[in-house]
């Protein structure tokens, strides 16, 4: 019982702290990434590359147009999910996670297409 109360109460207690924390730019995220072990395997390297590419892509200069900024940042975020899912499909063996990765690729590709269409339609 104590553990479940902790899981419910901790986010409520931490919310003011998290809201008061300074925001972090995407380019600052690299400094917070975990150092890769010298013995990192190909999957580790592929996951790290997908994260680097995603963070670089999300580092969009604000346009002052929230809708456009949202789409410009979400497209690389979704592409990062696709790239990570493809790493799972290449190296992972768990059937449930491989199916999840397949579903992620399909869903994120669809949403990227919707965002690209919105950008074209809105002329932004």
Contacts of 6 (CB under 8 A, 6+ apart): none
Q: Which fold has domain 26-122?
A: Ferritin (1.20.1260)
Q: What is the mean pLDDT of residues 78-89?
A: 97
The percentage of residues in the chain with a pLDDT greater than 70, rounded to a whole number, is 69
pLDDT of residue 17: 41
pLDDT of residue 52: 96
Name the more confident of 104 and 3.
104
Q: What is the mean pLDDT of residues 112-116?
A: 98
Report domain extents, the chain.
Answer: 26-122
Q: pLDDT tens digit string along 60-76?
A: 999 999 999 999 999 99
pLDDT of residue 10: 46
Q: What is the mean pLDDT of residues 25-50?
A: 71
Displacement of CA 114 from its chain's centroid (Å): 18
Q: What is the spatial distance between Cα 84 and Cα 78, in angstroms, rounded to a whole number? A: 10
* Whole-prediction pTM: 0.69
Q: Name the helix (H) or strand (E) containing 38.
A: none
pLDDT beyond 70 at 21: no
């Amino acid at each position: 019982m104590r553990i479940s109360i902790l899981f419910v109460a901790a986010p409520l207690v931490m919310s003011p702290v998290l809201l008061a924390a300074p925001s972090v730019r995407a380019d600052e995220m690299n400094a917070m990434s975990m150092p890769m072990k010298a013995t990192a395997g190909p999957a580790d390297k592929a996951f790290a590359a997908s994260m680097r590419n995603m963070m670089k892509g999300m580092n969009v200069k604000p346009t002052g147009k929230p809708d456009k900024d949202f789409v410009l940042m979400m497209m690389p975020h979704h592409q990062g999910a696709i790239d990570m899912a493809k790493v799972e499909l290449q190296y992972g063996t768990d059937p449930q996670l491989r199916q999840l990765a397949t579903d992620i690729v399909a869903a994120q590709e669809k949403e990227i297409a919707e965002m690209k269409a919105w950008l074209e339609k809105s002329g932004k």
